[in-house]
Amino acid sequence: MALQVLLLIPRLIICSTTQSQITDFMFKRNAFFLGTLLGGVMAIALQVTPTWAQSAIDSDAGILVENCMVRFINKTKVPSETQGKLTQLPVEEGMSIKKGDVIAIVDDKQARLALELKQAEELVAKLNAQNDVNKRDAVQSEVIARQEAAAYRDLYAKGAAPQFEMLKKQAEADRAILRIELADLNENTAMAEYVAKQVGTQLAQSDIEMRTIRAEFDAFVENRFAQLGEWVQPGSPIVELVQMDFVRVEGFIDAFRYAGQIQKGADVKVEITVGGTSTNPITKTFVGKIDYVSMELDLNKRHRIWVKVPNERDGDDWLIKPGMRATMQIAPPTAAAGLF
């Protein structure tokens, strides 16, 4: 009996080992199939674009581009161009300003004194450049020296003057000609110095202008970063200006599906949602032309396009604001001009 038990032990061990190997094989096979299935599902999900993300729809009236967005044309942080203390800061957040209006002034007392000094130096240089006394003196002296040299040549020819006196007077006449050339050189040098002083005056004037920060376009003051009396450095932002008289409506369109159909200058009708509710929106319609079609495609193989549209005043506010939703209806390339 004991011998039979001993003979069964190896068989039990072999069976146990075989069962473990089978279980491990089944687990690995199921994991492989599950991984393959999940990979296929993810690949399909990446290739299929959900219906809500579609940006363009074909219609009889052209190509309808949905989910467009109103954007700024100009949104600029205006910096200081020099260092100093802000002595004037007449703008506040929410103000509308015109092109050329003063935004801020950096302390310009020393700059104005430097300008006065440069202007005085320029005046001195101008007087020197206009001074021709030395030139006129040199010309008259040359005439006298030439006549005197001629007279001594006659006396030498008659034996009434020694040769060295005649040669001395001739040398003086030659030096008189050189003094005229020197006077011309001095006049040209004085004129060059005058021009240099003029440039110095312009630089001093430019320094004052740099300390006067002005608006580059009609704008709305979105943010004011600096405070009156604050010390600023070159590049320190003073205010943030946004252009509101014109905005642009930006959208995306499939580059492969509409290859060759979307071009700059194409007729387009823009409809912007300016108010209301999701079920009863208030819209504003504009007709224009596509102003931009990007060369680069995004990750979804789409062109970025935008249209510049004029904004309208709504009391003290603006009707159209960046962030509003819009749609674009682009005329097909075969449509007659003036479709909209």
CB 70 within 8 A of CB 320: yes
17 φ, ψ to 5°?
A: -65, -40
CB 298 within 8 A of CB 40: no
And the tokens for 156?
A: 């030498």
Mean pLDDT of 76-99: 94
Whole-angstrom distance, CA of residue 71 vs CA of residue 136: 70
The CATH class of the 51-73+243-330 domain is: mainly beta
Q: Has residue 30 got a pLDDT over 80?
A: no
CATH of domain 78-101+215-242: 2.40.50.100
And the tokens for 324?
A: 């509003």
pLDDT at 13: 44
Q: Count CA within 13 A, CB hemisphere, residue 206.
A: 7
Q: What percent of the chain has pLDDT over 70?
A: 80
Give SS3 for 326. strand
pLDDT, tens digit (0-9, with 9 covering 90-100), for 314-323: 888 899 999 9
Nearest C-alpha neighbor of 217 from the set 233, 239, 250: 239
And the tokens for 109?
A: 């007392």
Whole-angstrom distance, CA of residue 250 vs CA of residue 70: 6
Q: Has residue 17 got a pLDDT over 70?
A: no
Whole-angstrom distance, CA of residue 275 vs CA of residue 273: 6
pLDDT, tens digit (0-9, with 9 covering 90-100), for 224-236: 999 999 999 999 9
Whole-angstrom distance, CA of residue 94 vs CA of residue 55: 34
pLDDT at 159: 84
Residue-range domain boundaries for the chain: 51-73+243-330, 78-101+215-242, 108-205
Mean pLDDT of 149-178: 88
End-to-end CA distance of the chain: 104
pLDDT at 304: 94
And the tokens for 107?
A: 């302390």
Q: Has residue 41 got a pLDDT over 50?
A: no
Nearest C-alpha neighbor of 129 from the set 182, 200, 186: 186
